Amino acid sequence: MNRLSICSKLCYAIGGAPYQITGSALGFFLQIYLLDVAQIDAFYASIILFVGRAWDGITDPTVGFLVSRSPWTRFGRMLPWIVLSTPLAVICYFLIFYVPPFEDGKVVWYLFFYCAFQTLQTCFHVPYSALTMFISSEQAERDSATAYRMTIEVLGAVLGTAIQGQIVGMANAPCIPGPGDPVLNATNLSVVDGHNDSLLAFVVSLQKTAYMIASGVICLVYILCAIVLFFGVREQKEFCRVGSEPISFFQGIKLVMGHGPYVKLVIGFLFTSLAFMLLEGNFALFCTYTLGFRNDFQNILLVIMFSATLAIPFWQWFLTRFGKKTAAYCGTLTAVPSMIVVVVFKSNLIMTYFVSFFAGMGVASAYLMSWSMLPDVVDDFKLENPKSTGHEAIFYSFYVFFSKFSSGISLGISTLSLHFAGYITRGCSQPEAVNITLRVLVSFAPIALMIIGLVVLYFYPIDEKRRQRNRERLREQEMEDSETDSAELAAII
């Protein structure tokens, strides 16, 4: 038995925190930062968000292939990628939240550093994701480590939301009243006439500083997590066969994308991921403008992520008791009532906190189920292609690619929709068309996407019976391979 210690599982899990910390901060705050702090036009902001995520998606298969062809070192194959990419990644992340002292090149600035960060984070996350297959040969141990990882990743998302939200929330920028807005005084930080221009400039400057402080703290946490992962996890090489030959990039893609269960799983979670990305990317704007909770949205986001953290152990128990496919259905549907209530009923802060708590349970399921089911697909592929090895990174890189592709689509479409709806930068209120658009983006559109994703997932063929059968067959195959390898080595010697 290849059992993992609790310490090893924790160190492995901590390595997943940087992706979620930066992902939650970017997902919840980058759109509103570009629009209201950097003051990028909504059309150009949509280009930055879409191109950045699309570029990120393109790099995933490439990095996955390069990782799969990387030579083994004394530290393993995956860990060197993680360590070498970290310093440059944190520099680029910090510069995303820095407002340059010029206007003409702002769009290029944010597009460049956003793309650069996404590329470097891919060099971290793809090897880390594939590392799941190299920490243990036991399916149960990998599932347990994945549950640890999901718990820490959701905690990371909470931490990223808390750091970014609480620090930025202390420096709320003044809003600019429109023709139909009531005239507010300076105490409420609203700009009512030319005498308050200096107040506007001062508070906006504070908000820029707050974003830089928050990004600096997140960068420090990113580095610490990478250090813990590197020194706390031992990558194992024991799954490679003697004499196995690597195949080309396109051959690997053909094999991976030709595996039916993998394609169904990817497409199913592509739609559900797109649903949650739409909700995540627009929820801050929805709370600020549609619900009118300008000073509370960061706390509402924190409730969602805190609830998700508490729900991870429950969903881990649920999937072991009722199966992963059933857990994916129940978990995704848990978020639907909350998404309906929050847009149908009149704005109420207490109710918003209440429904946000239940929405967090759906978020937890989305985090856990997608990554928990992927190792089962890889195992299934191994059994169907016993002579083909070393494709773990390609499986995970394409999985991450589709996830990021959905994120790019959601951010690009939603920001562009707000542009055409008439979004007012730092307005105290928005036109009714913007409020309607935000309601669609955080409720009706995600629900429709979830339903499509669950319909696709219905045809996913790896149920609990097949999963257990694969587990037993893999054990038998590993024993046969071990005997064969020993015989081949003996013949060579």
One pLDDT digit (tens) per residue for the chain, 493 residues: 467 788 888 989 999 899 889 988 887 788 888 888 888 888 888 888 888 877 876 787 778 778 877 777 777 778 889 999 999 999 999 999 998 988 888 999 999 999 999 899 889 988 888 787 777 767 677 778 877 887 788 788 778 888 887 888 766 655 656 555 554 444 444 444 444 566 666 667 888 888 999 999 999 999 999 999 988 888 776 544 444 455 566 676 777 778 888 888 888 888 888 888 888 778 778 887 888 777 777 788 778 878 887 888 888 888 888 888 888 888 888 888 888 888 877 767 888 888 888 888 887 887 777 778 888 888 888 788 776 666 666 777 777 777 777 776 777 788 788 888 888 766 677 888 888 898 888 888 889 999 999 999 889 888 888 888 888 887 777 676 655 555 554 554 5
Length of the chain: 493
Backbone angles phi, psi at 178, to 5 degrees: -90, -175
Phi-psi region of 220 (alpha: psi -120 to 50; beta: other; left: phi over 0): alpha
**Residue type (1 letter), 366:** A
Indicate the angle between helix axes 197-232 and 17-32, nearest 10 degrees.
160
Backbone angles phi, psi at 371, to 5 degrees: -80, -25
For residues 59 and 81, what is the distance between their CA atoms, to the nearest angstrom? 14
- Using alpha carbons only, what angle is made at residue 423 by residues 415 and 272, rounded to the nearest 5 degrees? 30
> How many Cβ atoms from other residues are within 10 Å of residue 91's Cβ?
14
Contacts of 62 (CB under 8 A, 6+ apart): none
* SS3 call for 177: coil
Buried b (16+ CB within 10 A) or exposed e, 98-124: ebeeeeeebbebbbbbbbbbbbbbbbb
For residues 167 and 191, what is the distance between their CA atoms, to the nearest angstrom? 22
Check: CB of residue 161 under 8 Å from CB of residue 25: yes
- Count of CA atoms in the C-beta half-sphere (13 A) of 239: 23
**Residue type (1 letter), 62:** T
Quickly name the fold that domain 249-462 has: Growth Hormone; Chain: A; (1.20.1250)
| Fold match between domain 8-177+197-234 and domain 249-462 | yes
- Domain-by-domain residue ranges, the chain? 8-177+197-234, 249-462
Check: CB of residue 352 under 8 Å from CB of residue 302: no
DSSP structural state of residue 284 = H
**CATH among 3.30.365.10, 3.30.70.360, 1.20.1250.20, 1.10.3720.10 for 8-177+197-234:** 1.20.1250.20
Which tokens in the block code for residue 242?
């003697």
- Nearest Cα to 355, choosing from 304, 310, 311, 305? 304
Which tokens in the block code for residue 324?
């992963």
Check: CB of residue 424 under 8 Å from CB of residue 430: yes
